[in-house]
Amino acid sequence: MQTRIVTLLLFVLVSFVPSTAQTTIPKPEEVLGFTPGDDRKLASWSQVIDYFEKLDRASDRVTFQTLGQTSMNQPFVMATISAPANLARLDELRKIQDQLADPRTLGPLATRDRKAAELIRQGKTIVLITCGIHSTEVGSYLSSMLIAQRLASSTDADVQKILDNTIILLVPSLNPDGVDIVKNWYDKTLGTPFEGTDPPELYHKYTGHDNNRDWYAFTQVETQLTVDKIHNVWHPQIVHDIHQQGAFGSRLFLPPYMPPVEPNVPKAIVQAYTELGNFMAAEMRVKGFQGITTNSTYDAWSPARAYSHYHAGARMLSETASARIASPMTLKFDELRSREGYDPQKESPQFGPVWRGGEWHLSDITKYMTTAAFFLLDHAAQNREQWLRRFYAVGKEAVRPRRPGELYGFLIERSGNTEALLSILRRGGVEVEAPKPGTIFKLGNRALPQGTQLVRMDQPYAAFAKTLLEVQRYPNLRDDAGHPIAPYDVTAHTLPLLMDVGVHPVKAPFRPARISGISEIVGVVRNWKPVATADLAAIYRSSVPSHDEGWTRWIMDSNNIPFGVLTDKELRAGITVFKSSPGVTGKYYVLLIPDQPARTLLEGYRSGAMPPELTGGLGPEGVRHLRDFVETGGTLVFLNRASNFAIEQFKLPLRNVVAGLPRTDFYVPGSILRIELDTTHPIASGMPKETIAWAEDSPVFEVTNDPNATVPASNVRVIASYSADKNPLLSGWLLGGDLIKGKAALVEVKMGKGRVILFGFRPQYRAQSLATYPLFFNALSSK
């Protein structure tokens, strides 16, 4: 880490000595022993740090700092790259950003535009480049060194223009732990039949690929460091997020994104990513790059991937085709496969020119990535004033007083999870106010509790608050054949529902007496807190990594609940680890099977796909041992899709009524539904009568009188069900909702001396659905 004082000193020294420094800039191969992009070569995280430290020492254009520690205690780092004259006045340039970001700081309305024009003249385009959040997409952290080296060493006029007009914040990896997880697996399997496979573990300690779904919940330390120490400090106008996609589609995706765009993303931001993405694609095509797609596959629906869209910055996702980690592959033209919005075998407005297939090396990936990054930087430099003007315009629109009839803000009631919700908003830069003492807000006849907070819409990051506080109405998108077009990820992120906090939109002009509730979604204030009563629970870890398993471990760790982990091998081998009831030898009362497809649980990796010790799943022996565990008194808890495994393997008197239905009949791709609870059951004890269910490819249960079932229907108790008459959908997208009315969403089945609990939803979804944490923790309780 280089302090600012040292940097300043260095700058002073360098400016007195006629500079030969640029000729001694280290090349990555001099530090790593290979060039990033060479076949079958990956750098370790310590090598990456070593390279950037050497670059920092050699170059007056680069400063390098450690921002904090990762989940596995590695340094989380960033390089700041610009012209030496800019690096010498970073504080001043950052202050310009602060003022343009929040036009209220520019004084009286009448003179703001004039002051802003002066700041725009002086300011720089701030470009954040983030690499490597997905660790198997190895091209980007390797490219970060190539990008930095060129910026540090080049004497080209275009690079000089970039350095003069922009400040580049370069994060070599948003997930440093994963760099080594992937490298270790890759090196271990190099030269074996398993070379180029993904590692059989999550490449982030808890979240794996879902680390890029955390940009509003901010649960993980890497997300927190990026938001607190980069986004909120610098308010970048452009965030270039460098990824890789599958091997068989386009060679490169660039924005614009395909529909839908979430309605709170400012139009100016949509224009920005459209203009810049089209510019990059056009320039790359001129240079002869093939297989580029825009306006396809990736949508702009969720703040979970796009913090910047709600903070006046354009997220510039790029997705380059993968190889087999660092190993090359050869693709035939007819192996290329269509994805949403284009066919890689046909030129179209969204795709072209066609790539004819052939060899695809890691060096192709780094070449696409570095070329795209420099075109992005060219645009940022050449259009510096335009980027800053647009940035100011977004802030100006955000802070303008709301006109009568417009949304004025949201009132947020004080209850058990309110602080969790408010801390998310505050971390996202949202100002939360306490209304004047003595103000009483009335919802019908009910006065809102003391401590109700107000979030106004006339503030810089109101769009971030609004998207998280309101209900999502995902558009009913269909292709030409009438089939639903799948969202890129999920469709809902309404925090008041996920966290069960009373939130009420209020219109301008704001009159406390006249508020109405969004009682459609949040009816009453509930003052319970999740109770951590789990004891002696174990979590099953499949050889095939499961995000839900990782999130579950995070929830247990962050609530200081001890737990065990059991693998396929252990469950196949035997059952002595289990404790069937208090006082009996063994270790666990409860075993949790996280969300995973039934077939993956049973079969795991297919034979030959991975080393033999990792294949085969739970298998018939595992099933038998699980059944023994329940029958001798254990509790088995299945989450979401895993419930299908229990129904099939234990022959339970239950049917998943939506199994096998085409999407045209039933579809719930990540939405918030309404369920009703039997609060006389211990699992729902203390809960409200009505709550939410996070449904995502979820089963829906019906009790059957199947004579072949191992237990009678009378052994089943329904704990939660979908209302017989109300629309189940609260936020997001649901097709075929009528099919699930009156059906069960959570059941308990007695089997022998024990029981099986089946969740038809994800009660601890991505550590966000605090509303249903009590159900989750109560199910893990041995009582």
Contact flags string 238-277 toward Zn ion, x per CB under 5 A: -----x----------------------------------
Instruction: Provide CB contacts within 8 A for 199, sequence distance 6+.
Output: 136, 181, 182, 184, 185, 186, 545
Q: Which two tokens stand for residue 515?
A: 């508020």
Taking the complex as a whole, the smallest distance from the CB of residue 6 to Zn ion amounts, in Å, to 35
Residues 729, 692 contacting (CB under 8 angstroms): no
Residue 134 or 766 having the CB closest to Zn ion: 134
Closest CA to 224 of 430, 419, 76: 76
Taking the complex as a whole, the smallest distance from the CB of residue 134 to Zn ion amounts, in Å, to 3
Closest CA to 259 of 463, 483, 479, 495: 479
Q: Transcribe 377-437 into DSSP letters.
A: HHHHHHTHHHHHHHHHHHHHHHHSPPPTTSEEEEEE--STTHHHHHHHHHHTT---BPPPT
Per DSSP, the three-state class of 703 is strand
Residue 208 or 344 having the CB closest to Zn ion: 208
When asked if residue 204 is in the footprint of Zn ion (CB under 5 A), the reply is no
Residue 205 or 526 having the CB closest to Zn ion: 205
Residue 134 or 547 having the CB closest to Zn ion: 134
525 backbone dihedrals φ, ψ, rounded to 5°: -80, 135
Residue 243 or 627 having the CB closest to Zn ion: 243
Residue 243 or 755 having the CB closest to Zn ion: 243
Taking the complex as a whole, the smallest distance from the CB of residue 317 to Zn ion amounts, in Å, to 9
Angle between helices 384-399 and 90-101 (to 10 degrees): 40
Taking the complex as a whole, the smallest distance from the CB of residue 297 to Zn ion amounts, in Å, to 12
Residue 324 or 624 having the CB closest to Zn ion: 324
When asked if residue 213 is in the footprint of Zn ion (CB under 5 A), the reply is no
669 backbone dihedrals φ, ψ, rounded to 5°: -90, 45
Taking the complex as a whole, the smallest distance from the CB of residue 37 to Zn ion amounts, in Å, to 18
When asked if residue 134 is in the footprint of Zn ion (CB under 5 A), the reply is yes
When asked if residue 235 is in the footprint of Zn ion (CB under 5 A), the reply is no
Q: Which range, of 132-140, 365-373, 488-496, 699-707, touches Zn ion by CB under 5 A? A: 132-140
| DSSP 8-class letter at 290 | -
Residues 484, 741 contacting (CB under 8 angstroms): no
Q: Which two tokens stand for residue 208?
A: 């794996």
**Alpha-carbon torsion 83, 85, 87, 91, what sign?**
negative
Residue 243 or 641 having the CB closest to Zn ion: 243
Taking the complex as a whole, the smallest distance from the CB of residue 244 to Zn ion amounts, in Å, to 6
Give, as ranges, the residues between 40 and 69 that touch Zn ion (CB under 5 A). none
When asked if residue 315 is in the footprint of Zn ion (CB under 5 A), the reply is no
Q: Which range, of 137-145, 353-361, 392-400, 711-719, touches Zn ion by CB under 5 A? A: 137-145
Q: Which range, of 61-69, 130-138, 416-424, 562-570, touches Zn ion by CB under 5 A? A: 130-138
Residue 317 or 652 having the CB closest to Zn ion: 317
When asked if residue 504 is in the footprint of Zn ion (CB under 5 A), the reply is no
Tell me how far apart the alpha carbons of residues 115 and 133 are, in angstroms, rounded to a whole number: 38
Give, as ranges, the residues between 574 and 593 that touch Zn ion (CB under 5 A). none
Closest CA to 130 of 245, 273, 241, 244: 241
Q: Which range, of 100-108, 129-137, 160-168, 393-401, touches Zn ion by CB under 5 A? A: 129-137
Q: Which range, of 186-194, 236-244, 306-314, 632-640, touches Zn ion by CB under 5 A? A: 236-244
Residues 230, 169 contacting (CB under 8 angstroms): yes
Q: Is the peptide bond before 260 cis (omega within 30 degrees of 0)?
A: yes
Residue 138 or 592 having the CB closest to Zn ion: 138
Taking the complex as a whole, the smallest distance from the CB of residue 769 to Zn ion amounts, in Å, to 24
Tell me how far apart the alpha carbons of residues 731 and 672 are, in angstroms, rounded to a whole number: 5
The site for Zn ion, by CB under 5 A, has a size of 3
Applying CB under 5 A, the residues found at the interface with Zn ion are 134, 137, 243
